[in-house]
Amino acid sequence: MSEARVGGAVARSFLQRALGAARLDADVYEEVEADTGATGQAAWMVTLSAVAAGLGSIGNHGLSGVVWYTLWALASWYIWAAIAYWIGTRLLPGAHTEADHGQLLRTLGFSSAPGLLRIFGLFPPLAGFVFLLSALWMLVAMVVAVRQALDYCTTARAIAVCAIGFPIYAISLALSLLLLGPLPI
């Protein structure tokens, strides 16, 4: 495994970053925030999470669901990062807030790591539970991602950004579900 340097520190591999992000490790979120080369990795994390959701719901939506969830996830990731950036830097900036859109893209991309669990939706008795658990876990990971990317001193401000912005993100999910049909929850 090759290792790269980010800001003088040795960067973790994609797998290490994914596991650390799922464990809500703030250091991993700080690392991907600072690593401008990690935007592609963040996009892959979102894509893999979306494919897991599509495969996990294949019983309800077939193969078209895999394509739909992947495209929706990539678009909504970008929109969610823009919304969080605007709220976090314009409406609720902290004393040390200094961020750009790319930092939110990278940290929010890795907050999708718990979504990989959605692959277990392939087992119908687990589907609803797995989708609910991964959604809640991803929401908590988003709070950590926002806190780190926007350099907030408290988690409360990151929760506020997510509380204001997440309903917009959820509306895009609802529109997606209206077009494709409900998830197996």
**Are the beta carbons of 103 and 149 closer than 8 angstroms?**
yes
CB neighbour list of residue 165: distance below 8 Å, 6 or more residues apart: 80, 83, 84, 87
Helix, strand, coil percentages in the chain from 3-state DSSP, rounded to 5? 80, 0, 20
| Domain chopping of the chain, boundaries | 7-179
Q: Report which secondary-structure segment, H or E, holds 5.
A: strand 5-6
Q: Which of 1, 6, 49 is nearest to 27 (CA)?
A: 6
Q: What is the pLDDT along the chain (185 residues), one digit of tens a residue?
A: 445 555 555 679 999 999 999 999 999 999 999 999 999 999 999 999 988 988 887 877 778 778 877 888 788 888 888 999 999 999 999 999 999 999 999 999 999 999 999 999 888 888 889 989 998 999 999 999 999 999 999 999 999 999 998 887 778 767 766 776 555 44
Q: What is the pTM of this model?
A: 0.86
